């Protein structure tokens, strides 16, 4: 392990106790990230205040402003840990964490602010599209598989893989159905309807609720399984997925950190 970029507090001791926090800690990029965030917020606010831009434009400006400092942070992760698996874990935790925050914002908009489902599109509304969900969840699934091939294999990781598979299948079904509905609308000459937000497998009007194989069975009596709104369904998908990713990453990093002194002493 490269000690040229020490972790905060007492270095290895901190890593042994809170390895996930040690990984996510910005270290030398703390100030650049803070400055980038402030600059992004100011530019985003100015774009909305003076040029009439929408909220999602302001959010996009903040994210773009953070990218350079985040990229350097991930490079420092590589210098410190010397492990592609850990760098990918750092990137996935950051990306999926931001994605989960977006779902939390949608949940608050719908359940706390009582906005309509259409209005509750989060901070980055154009990303709330079927093709984005489809690509995103396939990317997460692929990265989870890459992480497991790289050594992140524990009980939490296998649960994460199962949830990521089911979540991706849910969005794949929704994406295929979306394309089918678009095709039917085009045949009818309707071209000004997006058909976004269609139910998937779970939730209200989803496949489980409509299928002749499941209607009237015990499956339909499970709270929310065939009655929850699409917004709630995907909120819980992401919360569970993020929780499992965090647990799997913590256990992996804890094991990895405990191996380092022994490996360093053997290797001289």
Contact 89, 147 (CB under 8 A): yes
Contact 36, 64 (CB under 8 A): no
What local confidence, expressed as pLDDT, does residue 123 receive? 94
Give me the mean pLDDT over the 215-240 stretch: 88
Token pair belonging to 32: 């650049």
What local confidence, expressed as pLDDT, does residue 185 receive? 81
Of 14-28, 41-55, 145-159, the range with the lowest mean pLDDT is 14-28
pLDDT surpasses 70 at 10: no
> What's the Cα-to-Cα distance from 86 to each of 11, 77, 124, rounded to whole Å?
17, 8, 28
Q: Compute the distance between CA of residue 253 and CA of residue 177 in angstroms, rounded to an integer.
A: 40
- pTM value > 0.75: yes
Token pair belonging to 191: 């071209």
Q: Which residue has the higher pLDDT, 125 or 71?
A: 71
Give me the mean pLDDT over the 129-147 stretch: 96
What local confidence, expressed as pLDDT, does residue 265 receive? 38
Q: Which residue has the higher pLDDT, 197 or 248?
A: 248
Nearest C-alpha neighbor of 227 from the set 211, 210, 203: 203
Give the distance from CA 188 to its chain's centroid.
Answer: 37
> What's the Cα-to-Cα distance from 123 to each of 61, 66, 188, 228, rounded to whole Å?
12, 16, 34, 22
pLDDT surpasses 90 at 207: no
Q: Which residue has the higher pLDDT, 66 or 261?
A: 66
What mean pLDDT, rounded, does the chain reach?
Answer: 88
What local confidence, expressed as pLDDT, does residue 193 receive? 67
Contact 154, 252 (CB under 8 A): yes
pLDDT surpasses 90 at 161: yes
Q: 3-class DSSP state for residue 115?
A: coil
pLDDT surpasses 60 at 1: no
What local confidence, expressed as pLDDT, does residue 12 receive? 55
Q: Compute the distance between CA of residue 246 and CA of residue 170 in angstroms, rounded to an integer.
A: 22
Q: Compute the distance between CA of residue 227 and CA of residue 158 in angstroms, rounded to an integer.
A: 28
Nearest C-alpha neighbor of 89 from the set 23, 15, 133, 22: 23
Q: Which residue has the higher pLDDT, 222 or 58?
A: 58
Could you give the dihedral angle defined by the CA atoms of residues 111, 179, 129 and 188, in that order, rounded to the nearest 10 degrees?
Answer: -80
Q: Which residue has the higher pLDDT, 112 or 218?
A: 112
pLDDT surpasses 90 at 251: yes
The sign of the torsion formed by the CA atoms of 243, 246, 248, 251 equals negative
pLDDT surpasses 70 at 229: yes
Give me the mean pLDDT over the 233-244 stretch: 96
Contact 128, 196 (CB under 8 A): yes
Predicted confidence (pLDDT) per residue in 102-124, tens digit = 999 999 999 999 999 889 999 99
What local confidence, expressed as pLDDT, does residue 261 receive? 59
Of 24-28, 100-104, 107-111, 242-246, the range with the lowest mean pLDDT is 24-28
Q: How confident is residue 13, by pLDDT bands cut at 50, 70 and 90?
A: low
Q: How confident is residue 266, by pLDDT bands cut at 50, 70 and 90?
A: very low
What local confidence, expressed as pLDDT, does residue 217 receive? 80
């Amino acid at each position: 392990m490269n000690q040229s970029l020490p972790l905060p507090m007492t270095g290895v001791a901190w890593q042994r106790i809170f390895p996930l926090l040690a990984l996510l800690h910005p270290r030398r990029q703390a100030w650049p990230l803070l400055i980038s965030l402030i600059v992004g917020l100011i530019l985003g606010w100015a774009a909305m205040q003076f040029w009439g831009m929408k909220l999602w434009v302001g959010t996009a400006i903040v994210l773009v402003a953070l990218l350079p400092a985040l990229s350097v942070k991930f490079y420092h992760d590589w210098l410190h840990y010397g492990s592609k698996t850990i760098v990918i874990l750092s990137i996935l935790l950051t990306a999926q964490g931001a994605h989960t925050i977006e779902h939390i914002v949608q949940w608050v908009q719908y359940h706390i602010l009582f906005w309509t489902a259409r209005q509750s599109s989060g901070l980055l509304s154009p990303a709330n599209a079927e093709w984005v969900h489809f690509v995103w969840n396939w990317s997460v699934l692929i990265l989870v598989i890459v992480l497991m091939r790289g050594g992140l294999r524990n009980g939490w990781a296998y649960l994460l893989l199962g949830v990521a598979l089911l979540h991706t299948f849910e969005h794949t079904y929704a994406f295929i159905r979306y394309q089918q509905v678009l095709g039917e609308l085009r045949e009818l000459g309707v071209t000004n309807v997006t058909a976004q937000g269609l139910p998937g497998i779970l939730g209200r009007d989803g496949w489980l609720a409509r299928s002749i194989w499941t209607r009237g069975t015990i499956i339909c009596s499970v709270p929310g399984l065939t009655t929850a709104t699409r917004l709630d369904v995907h909120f819980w998908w992401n919360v569970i997925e993020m929780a499992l990713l965090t647990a799997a990453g913590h256990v992996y990093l804890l094991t990895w950190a405990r191996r380092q002194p022994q490996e360093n002493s053997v290797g001289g």
